[in-house]
Structure 1
Amino acid sequence: MSPDSMPPGYARSAAEVNEQIRALWLRTSGYLSAGERAEYELLVVEWAAAIRGEIIEAA
């Protein structure tokens, strides 16, 4: 699911985003095109936000 297609207020867990990052790397054999690099960068930002959210919830 791309970030653009998510309903408002929906946030994926860090584990979900991490799985998508891993799938991207596997699908591309570790060689990212410009478009794939942009997707990867968005995923990393989303993953970092999810991690922060999970830490805040745990506190």
Structure 2
Amino acid sequence: MPVTIETKTAARIAELLDLFAELPSTPPVLTDEARNHAVTLLDRIDEEGEERTRRPDTAR
């Protein structure tokens, strides 16, 4: 079931996912699929012109 959230909330979630992706761990904290979802979410937020606090390292 789709959920609607505010753009700022989505941005914060994606930024947190990106931070988790940078944590050194074995196995990785996030799967490649989760990283890709975070990047997609951040790209959509960029399209809407929402400001973010940081630029993700995982961005393509």
So what's the TM-score if we normalise by structure 2?
0.52
Runs (4 or more) in structure 1 with deviation over 2 Å come to 30-33
Other-structure match for 2:31? 36
- Identity over aligned pairs, percent: 4
So what's the TM-score if we normalise by structure 1?
0.52
User: Could you say which structure has the larger radius of gyration?
Assistant: 1
Q: Counterparts of 2:27 and 2:41 in 1: how far apart (Å)? A: 18
Q: Counterparts of 2:38 and 2:32 in 1: how far apart (Å)? A: 10
Uncovered stretches (5+) of structure 1, i.e. residues with no partner: none
Q: Which has the higher helix share?
A: 1
CA RMSD, aligned part only? Answer: 2.9
